[in-house]
């Protein structure tokens, strides 16, 4: 999640993309799971979150909305009071501006999240859509009226501003924000230009909006017959559940129904992607960055070497992924290993299911190395009595899972579990993931001054994935012990469970690291094509994606021509150089988790690992993203964490190979 700082005139525009949510997805559309036929009224109130903790009713929401609208002109009236003839007392004016800005920010954040939480549990309610549109319009209005801010602030010499900060302690909390602005000075435009950039916020999201409307509402995928011969309606998000079906014919039919629909709209999808990339090129050129990659990363103070290092190191280390595909082909006894065979389990043993409370207990036990206070905090947040969580899927609910928060209010977590069947192992892992996000927000907001309370997207997924990695290691360790101790028929059962868990954890690396890095490579090369004025067509974008599929997955995997259209299904591409953070975060998180577990087992070399990570969770954006991870014990500017993750993956693949021989 990008840092939220009111000192920048573009902040309110950026707000719309940064406070929406942190998703646990991997660049795919998340499923509405099998129990979605239930109505919200069928779900016990205990398992529903409490938006009323933000506002008791819409009248309270409207008061905050009206306050924001009424006070934007008051903020705009500060123009000329920081620098120039009317600037009689710049530091005092800055203090007053910051105070009002914070108040407006807090109210906007609450107003947005309140609408979002209600809308995401009732997507059929157009009233909530209307209120989101009201807030978007308000955000654009803010950007237009505050376009003068950055250019005017930069008229103050940096040394003079530091003198103001020394004189007035109220400005100290903004020191890093101001210094970051000076560091980006070459990319801040004149006031009229900044006004134009703010107004452009009304149109630069068009490609993304059209994509979402098309894929969420307008595109219909028809029906297939399931393994019982019953007719099943195909949906894009449903692929995530149906791709694991044991009937290969069903998987193939479902895959083709979805991909053929995208292929049929291929020219339209390419036109949308062309518009999306041109939007990024426009912003890059307007703000005088060297490339779209520079614009995306330098703006968040992540060195581009981190991105390049990720791509190059991963592309040089795909041998274990190739081997995994070979194992899958062998174990599944397939002459041809196809796209629809990627996700089916290697064993047919029915997966265990857990009640929500059982899943929480598993997480609490696994995370004991994190210390008593962390356990108490996540236990409170995951207790459904406290209103932080919305647990089960139902009709009209947004799919997937996320954590989100607004200042002064506890975090919220949305899930989509099957009420009747309970949680799978992956669902339990999802709970651990999202509560990690929530603790990151909870601790950072508590410990950091307002301007630094939030954190960059580069850091966000680390907090959540450490929880997942520790849970996975605990489950694997327990399964290995059970396998080694058991005999006879029990040993075979224990072996199958160990294979199942290995399969799941290997797939987690494949999907969250390798797949996201493939996405990142495609996105970078597609943007380079756009920067060079090359055609961005269905054919050129598909050729690029198809080549990367073959490179990453090796000769064992066989692809249809349809597979090359996969780029068209990825909503994350409309967020601009976002997916790479899943890969870097996964590598960093596994390294940190291993150190925490090693410390808990008595390894003196890893002493302090837990405390460093807990400090990281409370650090917000007090330092730049790579520095924060360095303090936590991981240097993402080097190949070491990437190589360590690849070795971790390789070791599990070798273990799986041995167990399945």
Three-state helix/strand/coil letters over 487-547: CHHHHHHHHHHHHHHHHHHHHHHHHHHHHHHHHHHHHHHHHHHHHCCCCCCHHHHHHHHHH
For 289-328, how does the pLDDT look when each residue is reduced to its tens digit (9 = 90+)? 999 999 999 989 999 999 999 999 999 999 999 999 999 9
State residue 18's pLDDT score.
38
Q: Is the per-residue pLDDT at 28 higher than 90?
A: no
Range of the domain at 176: 11-22+52-207
CATH of the domain at 139: 1.20.140.70
Q: Is the per-residue pLDDT at 26 higher than 70?
A: no
State residue 121's pLDDT score.
95
**233: part of which helix (H) or strand (E)?**
strand 231-233
Number of separate domains in the chain: 1
Over residues 147-152, mean pLDDT: 92
Q: Which long-range contacts (CB under 8 A, 24 or more apart) does 84-90 make?
A: 84/152, 84/155, 90/156, 90/164
State residue 14's pLDDT score.
38
Residue 395 half-sphere exposure, CB side, CA atoms within 13 Å? 6
- In a domain, residue 120? The reply is yes
Q: Is the per-residue pLDDT at 656 higher than 90?
A: yes
Percent over 70 (pLDDT), the chain: 94
Q: Is the per-residue pLDDT at 90 higher than 50?
A: yes
State residue 5's pLDDT score.
37
State residue 351's pLDDT score.
76
State residue 400's pLDDT score.
85
**More confidently predicted of 396 and 30:** 396
- In a domain, residue 141? The reply is yes
Over residues 464-472, mean pLDDT: 96
For 214-229, how does the pLDDT look when each residue is reduced to its tens digit (9 = 90+)? 887 789 999 999 999 9
Q: How confident is the model at residue 23 (pLDDT cuts 50, 70, 90)?
A: very low
- In a domain, residue 475? The reply is no
Burial class (CB in 10 A: 0-12, 13-18, 19+), 465: buried
- In a domain, residue 200? The reply is yes
Over residues 384-389, mean pLDDT: 98
**377: part of which helix (H) or strand (E)?**
helix 372-382
- In a domain, residue 355? The reply is no
Which structure tokens are listed for 312? 């190059």
For 477-526, how does the pLDDT look when each residue is reduced to its tens digit (9 = 90+)? 999 999 999 999 899 999 999 999 999 999 999 999 999 999 999 999 99
State residue 542's pLDDT score.
98
- In a domain, residue 155? The reply is yes
For 246-264, how does the pLDDT look when each residue is reduced to its tens digit (9 = 90+)? 999 999 999 999 999 999 9
State residue 16's pLDDT score.
41
- In a domain, residue 550? The reply is no
- In a domain, residue 131? The reply is yes
Task: Specify which residues 392 forms β-bridges with.
Answer: 417
State residue 203's pLDDT score.
86
State residue 243's pLDDT score.
94
């Amino acid at each position: 999640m990008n840092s939220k700082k009111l000192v920048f005139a573009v902040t309110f525009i950026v707000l719309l993309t940064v406070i929406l949510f942190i998703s646990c997805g991997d660049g795919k559309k998340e499923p509405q799971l099998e129990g979605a036929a239930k109505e919200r009224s069928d779900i016990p109130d205990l398992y529903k979150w409490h938006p009323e903790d933000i506002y008791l009713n819409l009248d309270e929401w409207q008061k905050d909305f009206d306050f924001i609208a009424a006070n934007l002109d008051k903020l705009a009236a500060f123009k000329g009071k920081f620098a120039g003839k009317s600037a009689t007392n710049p530091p005092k004016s800055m203090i007053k501006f910051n105070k009002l800005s914070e108040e407006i920010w807090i109210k906007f954040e609450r107003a947005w999240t309140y609408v979002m939480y209600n809308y995401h549990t009732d997507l059929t309610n157009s009233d909530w859509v209307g209120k989101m549109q009201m807030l978007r319009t308000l955000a654009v209005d803010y950007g237009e009226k505050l376009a003068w801010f950055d250019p005017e602030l930069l008229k103050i010499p940096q040394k003079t501003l530091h003198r103001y900060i020394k004189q007035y302690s109220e400005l100290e909390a903004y020191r890093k924000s101001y210094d970051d602005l000076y560091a980006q000075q070459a990319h801040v435009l004149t006031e009229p230009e900044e006004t134009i950039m703010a107004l452009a916020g009304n149109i630069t999201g068009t490609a993304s909006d059209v994509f979402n409307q098309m894929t969420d509402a307008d595109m219909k995928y028809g029906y297939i017959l399931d393994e019982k011969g019953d007719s099943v309606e195909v949906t894009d998000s449903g692929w995530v559940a149906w791709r694991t079906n044991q009937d290969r014919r069903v998987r193939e039919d479902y895959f083709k129904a979805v991909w053929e629909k995208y292929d049929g709209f291929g020219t339209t999808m390419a036109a949308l992607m062309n518009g999306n990339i041109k939007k990024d090129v426009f912003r890059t050129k307007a703000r005088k960055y060297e490339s779209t990659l520079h614009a995306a990363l330098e703006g968040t103070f992540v060195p581009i070497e981190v991105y390049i290092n990720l791509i190059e190191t991963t592309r040089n280390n795909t041998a274990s992924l190739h081997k995994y595909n070979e194992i899958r082909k062998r174990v599944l006894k397939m002459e041809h290993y196809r796209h629809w065979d990627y996700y089916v389990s290697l064993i047919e043993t029915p997966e265990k299911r857990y009640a929500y409370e059982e899943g929480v207990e598993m997480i609490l036990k696994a995370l004991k190395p994190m210390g008593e206070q962390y356990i108490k905090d996540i236990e409170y947040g995951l207790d459904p009595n406290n209103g932080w969580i919305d647990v089960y899927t139902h009709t009209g609910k947004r799919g997937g899972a996320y954590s989100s928060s607004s200042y002064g209010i506890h975090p919220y977590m949305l899930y989509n579990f099957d009420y009747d069947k309970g949680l799978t192992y992956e669902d339990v892992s999802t709970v651990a993931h999202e509560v990690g996000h929530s603790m990151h927000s909870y601790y950072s907001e508590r410990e950091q001054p307002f301007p630094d309370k939030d954190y960059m997207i580069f850091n966000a997924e680390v907090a959540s994935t450490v929880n997942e990695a520790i849970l996975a290691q605990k489950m694997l360790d327990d399964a290995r012990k059970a396998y080694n101790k058991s005999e006879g028929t029990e040993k075979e059962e224990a072996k199958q469970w160990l294979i199942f868990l290995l399969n799941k954890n290997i797939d987690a690396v494949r999907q969250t690291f390798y797949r996201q890095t493939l996405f990142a490579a495609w996105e970078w090369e597609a943007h380079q094509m756009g920067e060079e004025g090359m055609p961005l067509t269905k054919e050129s974008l598909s050729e690029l994606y198809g080549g990367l599929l073959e490179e990453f997955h090796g000769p064992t995997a066989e692809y249809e021509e349809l597979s090359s259209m996969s780029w068209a299904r990825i909503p994350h591409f409309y967020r601009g150089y976002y997916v790479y953070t899943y890969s870097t975060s996964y590598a960093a998180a596994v390294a940190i988790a291993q150190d925490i577990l090693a410390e808990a087992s008595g390894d003196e070399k890893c002493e302090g690992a837990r405390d460093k990570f807990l400090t990281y969770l409370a650090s917000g954006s007090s330092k730049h993203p790579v520095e924060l991870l360095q303090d936590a014990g991981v240097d993402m500017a080097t190949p070491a964490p990437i190589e360590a993750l690849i070795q971790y993956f390789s070791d599990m693949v070798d273990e799986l190979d041995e167990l399945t021989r």
